[in-house]
Each structure stands twice: as C-alpha cells, then as structure tokens.
Amino acid sequence: MAAVTRIGDGAYRVEVDGRGEIVFVAGPPRDRWVFWHGQVFRGDFLTAAPRNGPPGSGPRAYPVHALAAPMPATVIRVAVKPGDAVKKGDIVLVLEAMKMELPIRAAGDGVVAMVRCREGELVQADATLVEFT
C-alpha cells in the first residue's frame, strides 16, 4: 500500500513498502507533468489506461532526444555542452523550484546536440532544455 503526503505546492512524498520518494507534479488535471526519479512523465492521470492498451495510451515518459522542464524553475547548473556523451541516469542539469533542487537526468544514452538554457535563466514548464542526437 502506498502513502502520499503533500509537502508543498506540487510536491509530494510517496512511501511504498517503507521506501520514500519525492514526486513533483504540475499542470492541469488532464495534462499533468510528473517529475520522479530523474524522469518526466506527462499524461492524463485521471483516466486509467487499459492494461493492454495501445502504445502511447496513458502517461508516457519523454523520449531520449529531448529534456523538458517539468515545471517553472530556475536553471542553477548546466552539466553538459554540445558534443558531450551521456549515459542513462547522468545529471544533465539542475533546476531549482519551490526552494528545492531538481536534478534532471538523461533518460537514456545519447550525445548532447544542443543546450537551450543557461545558468540563472527562469524556464517555463514544457520548455525544451537539452536536445540529443
């Protein structure tokens, strides 16, 4: 059984089997952005996807070719530059929102094609931050 505790605007602590995680949520009910464990998921979380539904139904993780801001935030550190190779889980940049640091991690292996933000910049939800080839 899971226990969910709201800890701030858009921030929740989720505990499952004694293990706690912080999850950030933004957006309207039918188009939620969820940042969890270094990945961004977007979808309609009110309508359950069929267990054997077609590909693309229900919430989805963003593809490896781009990372987007999960919510309005300030870029406090950019850890990559064009041409850098990254592995799944590597920290690509760090955002700050609601007085909390959010490390944004690579969703898969790739090479940085373009960095579309800079340190100190305020970015809006859904803004593309880094593109990969």
pLDDT digits (tens, 9 = 90+) for 9-54: 888 888 877 788 888 888 777 777 787 766 777 776 665 554 444 4
Q: What is the pLDDT of residues 88-109, one digit of tens each?
A: 889 999 999 888 899 999 888 8
Give me the domain span that covers residue 65: 2-132
Query: Any idea what the CATH number is for the domain that residue 71 is in?
Result: 2.40.50.100
Number of domains in the chain: 1
Residue scoring higher pLDDT (123 or 2): 123
Q: How far is CA 61 from CA 51, 99, 100, in A?
A: 17, 25, 22
2 has a pLDDT exceeding 60: yes
Query: Would you state the pLDDT for residue 34?
Result: 82
> In this predicted structure, what is the pLDDT of residue 45?
64
Provide the pLDDT for residue 57. Answer: 47
Please give the Cα distance from 55 to 51 (Å, whole number): 11
The pLDDT score that the predictor gives to residue 80 is 96
